[in-house]
Amino acid sequence: MAVAEKPHAVCIPYPAQGHINPRLKLAKLLLCKGLHIIFVNTEFNFLSTACLTSSSIPSPTVFLRPTSTPPKTSLHLICDSTSKNCLAPFRNLLTHLNDTSSSNVPPVSCIVSDGITTFTLKVAEELGIPEVLFWTTSACGFLGYVHYSHLIGPTPLKEQQTNCRYTCKEWGIGMEIDNNVKREEVETLVRELMEGEKGKEMKKAAMEWKKIAEEATRPVGSSHLNVDRVKNEMLLS
């Protein structure tokens, strides 16, 4: 497919390392599936993170400069500055990319941004470009945010009992201890974990869950199939 005919996705992460790494992997995956990718990063993250070398990020990469803050500034100030000051630079970037007279890349067909980079939603709405929000939290964490208002009930019940049941009974990767924790009980459980039959069963269960997770990320696994669905139903629709 000619470059001008390729679907063009602009990927922009939230400027924190736990958000950048998953976005890099997604950008590379979309690149392998035939999309033209522009990866938007901040100079702060590129200069302060040794792992983001030229060979580890998709090409081309565009750097936004939300402030003139030096790299030694604390991360939370950079994140705050990005949220407040990147709307105009991001709008200018997309306008430039869609200007056929000055841009040598295909028009932007979609934006893949972080779930908390809200300024990209404003730009996408202004320019009429579809946008997909990519959440870097786990599915469980995401559902927790979605249903957060429903979790606050009249009785402040905690989730420890549920977590304990799933970890110990359903998943088989944990051992329960009494509320009145004593040194002898901890020692007994640690020895059972390291040397006992229960520990062997837990290690076996952990390896089985690991195998399931690895199979999901293979080319024919559920994760890859879901990425294909997102690409076909949302990014290319």
Tell me the C-alpha distance between 160 and 83, whole Å. 35
3-class secondary-structure state, position 18: helix
Which tokens belong to 233?
A: 């139903």
Give the amino acid at 86.
Answer: C
Contact, 63 vs 41, CB < 8 A?
Answer: yes
Whole-Å CA distances, 115 to 84, 93, 163: 15, 20, 26
Active-site option among 80, 96, 99, 114: 114
Give the amino acid at 73.
Answer: T
114 is known as an active-site residue: yes
Q: How far is CA 104 from the centre of its chain?
A: 29
Tell me the C-alpha distance between 113 and 121, whole Å. 9
For residue 10, which phi and psi values (nearest 5 degrees)? -100, 120
96 is known as an active-site residue: no
Active-site option among 19, 76, 147, 178: 19
Contact, 98 vs 75, CB < 8 A?
Answer: no
What stretches of 152-196 show up as alpha helix (H) in DSSP? 160-165, 183-195
Q: What is the set of active-site residues?
A: 19, 114
